[in-house]
Structure 1
């Protein structure tokens, strides 16, 4: 009888391991699917204050309020990592980034971004560029181009 119990126990353990393995695979697939796709062309207008040698507007020795139009193009995304370009009428820079849930972290040639997807096609990015040559603090609401996003554009980007 103890041989039957051992065989039965081995069968139960085998089934348990098979189910656990399948559940782990399913959990991993769900996690990978839950990473938002941020590829595409995003457009927005910034609310900024800046001073110094600025690449996207004229230099200034005193703080200046700016409202610049931007195009953020995310060319490629692999899992949580992505890259692309940030462009204004006066310049273009490469950006690299990662996404964690709905939060994005990015870097360009001289500054860093932290942002959040507020919907599938809306993104609020805050940009900081500290330094002796230039200083910038900015917030921009981006909308993905070609989206059928029916949300009204708010008068101000939402507080984060």
Structure 2
């Protein structure tokens, strides 16, 4: 009886030792495959409060409430890392960013963004800029103009 239990236990341990690395590899593959492609042109409008000398609004000595239109162009992506530009009617900045699941984190020339993909072609981005010369807080709702497949020329 003791011998049978020992054999069963040894067999169970063997199965676990074989299964764990295989499951870990499968989990890693699934995680790598689930990084969404966010390349493309995203358009959005922000609800913003700003003051000081900002690159995207008229200078103001007191808080100014406004709605600004934005174009976020993600032209390069390598796994969860990406880069592109953020532009308004008054200026354009380079952005770099990273995805963590559905969470989006970006930095531009003078501030940081964090947000969330809310769908394949939608995201909400919060922006903060803090400094002596300018202060900005905003929330933008973006929609991708076209999915990446639709942006590529035929035959590619």
What TM-score, normalized to structure 2? 0.80
| RMSD over equivalenced CA pairs, Å | 2.1
Give 1:136's aligned residue. Answer: 136
Aligned length: 140
CA distance in 2, matches of 1:112, 1:60: 21
CA distance in 2, matches of 1:74, 1:120: 14
Deviations 1:90-143 (A, max 9, x none): 111011111111111111000000101111111000000011100001000000
CA distance in 2, matches of 1:19, 1:123: 38
CA contact (8 A) 2:40 2:146 kept: no
**Correspondence list, 1:8-87, <5 A:** 13=14, 19-87=19-87
Cα offset, 1:22, TM superposition: 3.4
Name the SS of the counterpart of 1:104 in structure 2: strand
- Contiguous gaps of at least 5 residues in structure 2: 1-9, 148-156
Higher mean alpha-carbon deviation, 105-114 vs 20-29, is at 20-29
Cα offset, 1:20, TM superposition: 4.1
Give 1:153's aligned residue. Answer: none
Name the SS of the counterpart of 1:67 in structure 2: strand
- Contiguous gaps of at least 5 residues in structure 1: 1-8, 148-160
